[in-house]
Amino acid sequence: MRRFILLSTLGLALLSIVHGQSNEAKSNADELIVKKNSLLPDLQALEAESMKLEQPLALARAKAEIAAAAWMLDETWAKKLLTEAYVLTFPQEEAQTKLLNTPAGATPRPPTGNDRARSETRNRVLQIAGRDRAFADSLASLGAKQLGVYEAHFRYASLADKALKEGNSEAASQYLLQSIEADPTQITSSFVILDIAVHDRPAADELILQYIERLKAFPLSASNQSALRVYFSLRGLVFPQPNRDRLRRVIPAAGLAVIRAYVAYVIESIGKMEQSESGSAQRLRGFLLEVWPPLKQYAPELTGTFFALEKLSRRPGDDGSLPQGNSCCDDTVNSNYEERVKNALNKEQSDEEIVYAAITRRDYARARKLIAKLPDGAQKTLLTDTVNSKEAISLAARGDIAGAERLAEQLTRGVSMLEAYPAIIKRCVADKNRTCVSLLAHKAVRQLKRADLTRATPPAGIPASIVPSNREFDPVLSGLSKLASLIAPLDDQIALEVLDEVIAAANASALDTEQGRTGIDVELFPKLSAGNEVRVRQAAETFKDRLRRIVALSAIYQAQAAELVQIAQPAK
């Protein structure tokens, strides 16, 4: 009897626990439904607010950010918003027709401010749509059908870049091949291949070989500059040099198979062009001569074909002399670097090229001596800021925060400050040094407010129209936003102080939000709202500009939606 009573009591206790857990689970589920049902109307209210935006790109950006938050709550609605946003980025029908009628291989026209704004918004839409690769592909295909082969090339290259940054090398490679297939003569995809080469040279080599195979089936032309673009891209991919790389990185050279394929393709393609466009060999003689040194070493069987073409490429008066050095494979600026620096230091005045060569080699002491020989003016100021910024970043990477800070304090240009201070603060964040983060953050804010924000004059031959104006980019606003984002994981209170500066800078900014640009890092608001939702929401609502308010609030709602999804997932 006692055993029966004990078992009965235990059974009732277990039933009570199970029943309690069931009630608790039901209560949690009900609470999640309530929160979800309250969040969706908030997002729908933002969509209604967005309809007051008069310009297509501003409306497109608003729809995209609302979709980013709605995706976890109502994916069908989110995809509808993203599709509408993508279509809003298209130009008028007349412009679409011109783009569609532009054949592969044609010279791309320099982008206007409107072109850049459309492209930036389109990329943002695809970034969000990338949560479902098939859906992102469908949007990219829609753009290609409406805007032509250059759009397809550029957009697939952008998707490849995004996939690479997310660590998905396989998807990046597939997107790159789609980009090359659309138009192999454009150069955007080659930049992404170089990014791959930094960490995985064999994978990059495999892509280059496929790139060359696709090029073999495409007729190049000297007249539309497709040959120049292709040879320029291939040279940079096969023999990358720091002074030619946009980020001045040291990238390994290509493997033997790629070098041989490159040499053979240049010779073969120039020969074909000479047959279809007489005089092409003369116009492209420089590229032909560049392959002579690697040909001798890696593809001597092509010597006879090379000599026949080289003779054809000579102009009257040419003596037929061939390069003795490995000009394509070695950095021509740095091969005789020591001699050039010595000569420049012995002269009364140096030049910008050798200064940049010194900075690239991290030869900062001699770079400063070379800069000192320049006459006072904008060029000297620019180079001084450049060397101070680069050395500050180098010192921070080595853990010398004090030395990096001393150099950063000397910076006068906003662009340089936005390079140096984030790098130094990032090191403080890595060291979990709250005091360092606080001091540098406040110093960066004060310095940015009095910075020289003028744009550097574009190099000779570069149209001024392709350089973003202050209506397209606000360095102070962007810099403050990035600083706050960087600091948020370590100390949200300091980040909130910088957020106040972001709001003030945004409300005083001349940035044209009608083009879909806000100038703020959208990730800042979800980072800060986790433990300060009321405070961050109040800050977001103080944006004077409607688009900024919508974007910021959408980011906060996205963080809330992500939290709901996480809570709803069963524990593993």
- Is residue 65 in some structural domain? no
Residues 268 and 407 in one domain: no
The model's pTM:
0.80
Q: How many Cα atoms are found within 13 Å in the side-chain-facing hemisphere of 244?
A: 20
Residues 387 and 513 in one domain: yes
Residues 361 and 398 in one domain: no
Of 343, 374, 405, which residue is a domain's last?
A: 374
- Is residue 176 in some structural domain? no
Residues 486 and 564 in one domain: yes
- Is residue 276 in some structural domain? yes
> What is the total count of domains within the chain?
3
Number of helices and strands in the chain (H, E): 27, 0
CB-count exposure of residue 459 (10 Å: 0-12, 13-18, 19+): exposed
Residues 276 and 364 in one domain: no
- Is residue 309 in some structural domain? yes
Residues 402 and 545 in one domain: yes
The CA distance from 134 to 142, in Å, is 12
Of 374, 395, 430, which residue is a domain's last?
A: 374
The CA distance from 204 to 186, in Å, is 17
Residue 13: its pLDDT value, please? 52
Residues 310 and 339 in one domain: no
CA nearest neighbour of 528 among 501, 489, 572, 477: 489
- Is residue 145 in some structural domain? no
Would you say 178 and 222 are in contact if contact means Cβ atoms under 8 Å apart?
no
Matching residue, tokens 């673009």: 229
C-alpha separations of 144 from 117, 262, 496 in Å? 18, 29, 42
Which CATH number covers residue 514? 1.25.40
Q: Determine what percent of the chain falls in helix, strand and coil, rounding each to the nearest 5.
A: 70, 0, 30
Of 272, 300, 330, which residue is a domain's last?
A: 330
- Is residue 139 in some structural domain? no
Matching residue, tokens 């298209």: 90
CA angle 311, 316, 319 (to 5 degrees): 60
Residues 326 and 340 in one domain: no
- Is residue 38 in some structural domain? no
CB-count exposure of residue 5 (10 Å: 0-12, 13-18, 19+): exposed
Residues 307 and 367 in one domain: no
Residue 7: its pLDDT value, please? 44
Residues 387 and 309 in one domain: no
Residues 247 and 395 in one domain: no
Residue 568: its pLDDT value, please? 66
Interacting residues of 145 by C-beta distance below 8 A, sequence separation 6+? none
The residue type found at 291 is V
For residue 225, the enclosing domain spans 216-330
The CA distance from 553 to 50, in Å, is 12
Residues 547 and 515 in one domain: yes
- Is residue 466 in some structural domain? no
Output the tens digit of pLDDT for each of the chain's 572 residues: 554 444 455 455 545 554 554 544 445 555 556 667 789 999 999 999 999 999 999 999 999 999 999 999 999 999 999 999 999 999 999 999 999 999 999 998 888 889 999 999 999 999 999 999 999 999 999 999 999 999 999 999 999 999 999 999 999 999 999 999 999 999 999 999 999 998 899 999 999 999 999 999 999 999 899 999 999 999 999 998 765 555 556 788 899 999 999 999 999 999 999 999 999 999 999 999 999 999 999 999 999 999 999 999 998 877 777 876 555 554 444 457 788 888 888 887 777 888 888 888 889 999 999 999 888 888 898 899 999 999 999 999 999 999 999 999 999 888 888 889 989 998 998 888 889 988 998 898 888 877 765 544 444 444 444 445 557 888 788 888 888 888 888 788 888 988 999 999 999 998 999 999 999 988 899 989 887 889 999 999 999 999 999 999 999 999 999 888 777 665 44
